[in-house]
Structure 1
Amino acid sequence: MDERLIESLSAAVRAAPADLTLRLHLAGLLVDAGRGPEAVEHAATVLAAEPGSLEARDVMSRAMGTASAPRPDDDPVDTASGSGDQTAREPRSPAVPTEFDWHAAESDVGETVGPMFVDGSTEDPGPAPYDVELVGIRLADVGGLSEVKKRLEASFLAPLRNPELRRLYGKSLRGGLLLYGPPGCGKTYLAKAVAGELGASFIHVSLADVLDMYIGQSERNVKELFEVARSSAPCVLFLDELDAIGQKRSLTRNSGTRTTVNQLLTELDGVGSDNEGVFVLAATNHPWDVDPALRRPGRLDRTLLVLPPDREAREAILRTHLRDRPVERIDTRRLAKATEGFSGADLAHLCESASENALMESVGSGKVRMIGMADFDQALSEIRPSIGPWMETARNVALYANASGEYDDLAKWLRKQR
């Protein structure tokens, strides 16, 4: 009857392994049946979950005593007498320890019950594996923006390429460069071109790479990003949408955002680390929302306005986007004149729409044809410049929030647009 009950309880424990009461009852029956090693496994499982269980400790103590005691079938016999009688010796009573040896018990069941908490690693994994790119584009691949390229060359690239002249003239490399202007005008592309000019690796940092829901993790992400950049030097670390990552601390009540900006300031200053070979570029559409501390000397102290492309630049951009498409008799000069106020992204969208018109007509007629000016005229009737809302905001800033003169170049350009 006991054996059948044990088998039934064993099946029940296998079906419900988390039922500690059932497992402890089975362990007690196994002890009574003289099956100590099996009882030890079940008692140890209960103790791993409830270390303070007195009943489980009692069962474990009894099970260990039963496991060390000799079974009746294995008792030695007295064969010393020549009469051939085999007299059984008195069975030895099991020695019950006065104090349970937990270290011995853990070593006995170590393979049966694994550790409750494991780290899973034996060494420091190092910084998080953020994407480090090697870009192949240069400034010559950027259509137009000749004035922007000149300012980049004077304030950033020439000192980097000529270390002897830099030392002669005492030109410092501390600080970074902030690119700002309307959306879709090629700020990210310019940053990649700078990395290509320097032959440096490139890390694109967005809000998703930094922001985390857990307290302290966003600050750790900022630290790890700079560590990856330092280990990949020479490296261009590009902070995209800086107004989201480094928002004005006076505008937010979120303590997590404030401490993230503090950590960014610490890393830009190179406190505790050397930023040699790490060139920090940042981009934003709304520089007036960036924390002023980020734009102080030694941080992002150089500012460059990236404007919508002028007529020559628009023509160059159109030619670039039409280079690999089947076009016929496209007047890029007329298109450039008709797209005043278009950003680079708007021009790319224009070419895409014209190509779509030709494709759909080819699908309908079953005959492939070239992209012509009629397709662009139709696309121009549907597409408008996308930078209008930004210009309204920028105009208010230039008129009413430019007491320090930091947006004089923006105000000058806006006056020309009237």
Structure 2
Amino acid sequence: MADDPVLAELLEVLRRAPDVLPVRMRVAELLAGQGRWPEALEHCAKVLGADPVNAEAHRLLKRCTDAIAELPTASSSVSHYDWEAAESQVSDIIAPAFVDDGPPGPVAAEVERPGVTLADVGGMDEVKRQLGLSLLGPLRNPELAKAYGTSARGGLLLYGPPGCGKTFIAAAVAGELGAGFVPVQINDVLDIWIGASERNLHEIFETARRNAPCVLFFDEIDALGHKRSQLRNSAAMRGVVNQLLAEMDSMSARNDGVYVLGATNHPWDIDVALRRPGRFDRMILVALPDLDARRAILRHHLRDRPVAGIELGAIAERTQGFSGADLAHVCNSATQLAMADSISTGIVRPITMPDIGAALDQIKPSAGPWFEAARNIVEFGNADGSYDELAKYMRGKKFR
């Protein structure tokens, strides 16, 4: 979204914690400095929606609107259509910041019925084994679980490097249970209105309760459940964390039949209270796909494309260390190479092993930076043994 590395880094911070107003103001200033007035204006309006008396935001807002008003018209390089769009955007953005017509109604969470089960997850036998022990086993054998004093209540956290199939596994768990599936993204919860984010979160849980049995899946849970000690300047985000803690309270029978799964790339950023018994007290590492998983992922991404002479086993052997997203990128790049050749020759040809080889020459595994960060956690932040599984995996793969 931005060539400026500082701006790119700040935008990533905002993606994970949208209510940190000083960061949003700094983003607005950088965008204004690049002449990206409508984008800067949007960030100003969001700041004023949360803090209507913010003098700095008011000054920058006026600067943005004045700059947009002075944009050249159709006689120059900016078309009349662009001007009308910018003018409309100004109106749409400014109004919510100053008109107190109350927050909108709560979000309407959608309940899906996944058509996949764990049988559709290639490889990853250790992940499936742990799911059976910690969740599926107790659910399928309630009397036996009762005899041993265990249950499937509380939450289950899937963690690991990005692009390794955590969302797909969560959907497969719902399919395995024959349960509804409610996937929740951060933008389904967060709202600029005070108290609206908490209400959205409550309504999402209520939807899951009304549709029990149901798997409630929070993607990027660290963005919603970030450590409150790091949110001292964001009362709104602290309120969201507190609401999530209340909704997951294991002492309440209201959550019977609701199985809460969370996915994160950064489990070490999650508030410690969310890791206590009855909440996300069980963690499963979803690491890089193994050989069988890589073969299944490659087959999935090539299944509807013209191929000839493709050796999935050979490709899987060559792609150790690749994430599922990396493998999808390889397949897409090979497809583009075959398509480009077909366009130049006028003869449609299938995707072949040389196309895959050429794609692999250009694409490298993307999970390295994640394991670099994880190494510090394993070595210096694992006093309670939470990341023993990760440490064992990294030793086996020689990441340490």
Give 1 or 2 for the bigger CA radius of gyration.
1
In 2, the alpha carbon distance for the partners of 1:345 and 1:306 equals 14
Aligned to 1:133: 112
For the 8 Å contact 1:148–1:306, the answer to whether it is kept is yes
**Of 303, 318, 337, which residue of structure 2 is paired with 1:357?**
337
Deviation at 1:405?
A: 1.1
In 1, the alpha carbon distance for the partners of 2:359 and 2:132 equals 37
**Of 301, 304, 322, which residue of structure 2 is paired with 1:321?**
301
In 2, the alpha carbon distance for the partners of 1:168 and 1:272 equals 21
In 2, the alpha carbon distance for the partners of 1:310 and 1:129 equals 38
Structure 2 residue 261 is matched with structure 1 residue 281: yes
Structure 2 residue 294 is matched with structure 1 residue 311: no
Aligned to 1:52: none
Q: What SS is found at the alignment partner of 1:381?
A: helix
In 2, the alpha carbon distance for the partners of 1:168 and 1:410 equals 31
**Of 395, 399, 411, which residue of structure 1 is paired with 2:379?**
399
**Of 168, 182, 189, which residue of structure 2 is paired with 1:210?**
189
Aligned to 2:178: 199
- Show CA shifts across 1:22-78 (max 9, x none): xxxxxxxxxxxxxxxxxxxxxxxxxxxxxxxxxxxxxxxxxxxxxxxxxxxxxxxxx
Q: One-letter code of the match for 2:226?
A: Q
Deviation at 1:362?
A: 1.0
Cα distance, 1:316–1:369 mapped onto 2, change above 3 Å: same
Structure 2 residue 152 is matched with structure 1 residue 165: no
Q: One-letter code of the match for 2:255?
A: N
- Unaligned 5+ segments in structure 1 are 1-118, 120-124
**Of 159, 178, 191, which residue of structure 1 is paired with 2:157?**
178
In 1, the alpha carbon distance for the partners of 2:397 and 2:255 equals 41
Q: What SS is found at the alignment partner of 1:167?
A: helix
For the 8 Å contact 1:127–1:228, the answer to whether it is kept is no
In 2, the alpha carbon distance for the partners of 1:310 and 1:373 equals 21
In 2, the alpha carbon distance for the partners of 1:211 and 1:131 equals 17
Cα distance, 1:390–1:256 mapped onto 2, change above 3 Å: same
- Unaligned 5+ segments in structure 2 are 1-100
Q: What SS is found at the alignment partner of 2:254?
A: coil
Larger deviation, residues 322-331 vs 230-239: 322-331
Aligned to 2:237: 257
Aligned to 1:155: 134
Deviation at 1:273?
A: 6.2
Deviation at 1:417?
A: 2.5
Deviation at 1:213?
A: 1.0
Deviation at 1:388?
A: 1.2
Q: What SS is found at the alignment partner of 1:133?
A: coil
For the 8 Å contact 2:182–2:217, the answer to whether it is kept is yes
Structure 2 residue 354 is matched with structure 1 residue 374: yes
User: What is the TM-score with the length of structure 1 in the denominator?
Assistant: 0.68
Structure with the largest fraction of helix: 2
Aligned to 1:18: none
How many pairs does the alignment contain?
A: 295
Aligned to 2:248: 268
In 2, the alpha carbon distance for the partners of 1:268 and 1:126 equals 23
Aligned to 1:348: 328
Q: One-letter code of the match for 1:384?
A: K
In 2, the alpha carbon distance for the partners of 1:126 and 1:227 equals 14
In 1, the alpha carbon distance for the partners of 2:105 and 2:211 equals 13
Aligned to 2:201: 222
Deviation at 1:272?
A: 6.4
In 2, the alpha carbon distance for the partners of 1:339 and 1:267 equals 42
For the 8 Å contact 1:127–1:227, the answer to whether it is kept is no
Larger relative contact order (CA 8 Å, sep ≥ 6): 2
For the 8 Å contact 2:216–2:259, the answer to whether it is kept is yes
Q: One-letter code of the match for 2:387?
A: Y
In 2, the alpha carbon distance for the partners of 1:215 and 1:126 equals 13
In 1, the alpha carbon distance for the partners of 2:385 and 2:251 equals 30
For the 8 Å contact 2:201–2:243, the answer to whether it is kept is yes
Aligned to 1:416: 396
For the 8 Å contact 1:309–1:344, the answer to whether it is kept is yes
In 2, the alpha carbon distance for the partners of 1:128 and 1:214 equals 13
Q: What SS is found at the alignment partner of 1:318?
A: helix
In 1, the alpha carbon distance for the partners of 2:117 and 2:221 equals 23
Cα distance, 1:271–1:304 mapped onto 2, change above 3 Å: same
Aligned to 1:98: none
Aligned to 1:113: none
User: What is the TM-score with the length of structure 2 in the denominator?
Assistant: 0.71
Q: One-letter code of the match for 2:143?
A: E
Cα distance, 1:287–1:356 mapped onto 2, change above 3 Å: same
**Of 216, 227, 231, which residue of structure 2 is paired with 1:237?**
216
In 1, the alpha carbon distance for the partners of 2:136 and 2:253 equals 24
Q: One-letter code of the match for 1:352?
A: N
Aligned to 1:246: 225
In 2, the alpha carbon distance for the partners of 1:173 and 1:316 equals 29
In 2, the alpha carbon distance for the partners of 1:272 and 1:383 equals 49
Mapping of 1:13-24 within 5 angstroms? none
For the 8 Å contact 2:108–2:204, the answer to whether it is kept is no
In 1, the alpha carbon distance for the partners of 2:349 and 2:228 equals 56
Structure 2 residue 385 is matched with structure 1 residue 385: no
In 2, the alpha carbon distance for the partners of 1:386 and 1:126 equals 40
